[in-house]
A = this chain, B = another copy of it.
């Protein structure tokens, strides 16, 4: 019973800003710099979703990546793509839209639906730019 880790890459393009409502404009600009531009900026985010499982004898699949793609599109890409992360995304409401907080929120969206398929969500990677990215394994 060999465990294999299988990854699907998806992408979304979104606007956001880093802004702490309990701070003054000056403090926001001091801490977040250009990431606090009041009129927003944006990114081409790239998300890698890794599930863990053992290949089925019938299909050779841990999980049909078409099914994984459908779950990721339904739960993550549809709500985030071509949206404003701070304003338009229910599962980000009231949260700072840092890469760290976005990746934790995406995990919460995906963990249940993936476990219902019999596979286990193992890891997320979220690229904000080619130079900055975050990894998350459920918090441990």
Interface of A is mostly: mixed
Complex Cα gap A87–B40 (Å): 10
Is A65 close to B, CB under 8 A?
yes
Say which size band chain A's interface belongs to. Answer: 35 or more
Q: Encode contact with B along A1-27: 1 for CB under 8 Å, 0 otherwise.
A: 111111111110111101010010000
Residues of B within 8 A of A5 (CB): 134-137
**Are A84 and B136 also in contact (CB < 8 A) when A42-B14, A60-B95 are?**
no
Measured CB to CB, the residues of A under 8 A from B are 1-11, 13-16, 18, 20, 23, 31-35, 37, 39-44, 50, 55, 58-62, 65-66, 81-84, 87-88, 95-101, 103-104, 129-140
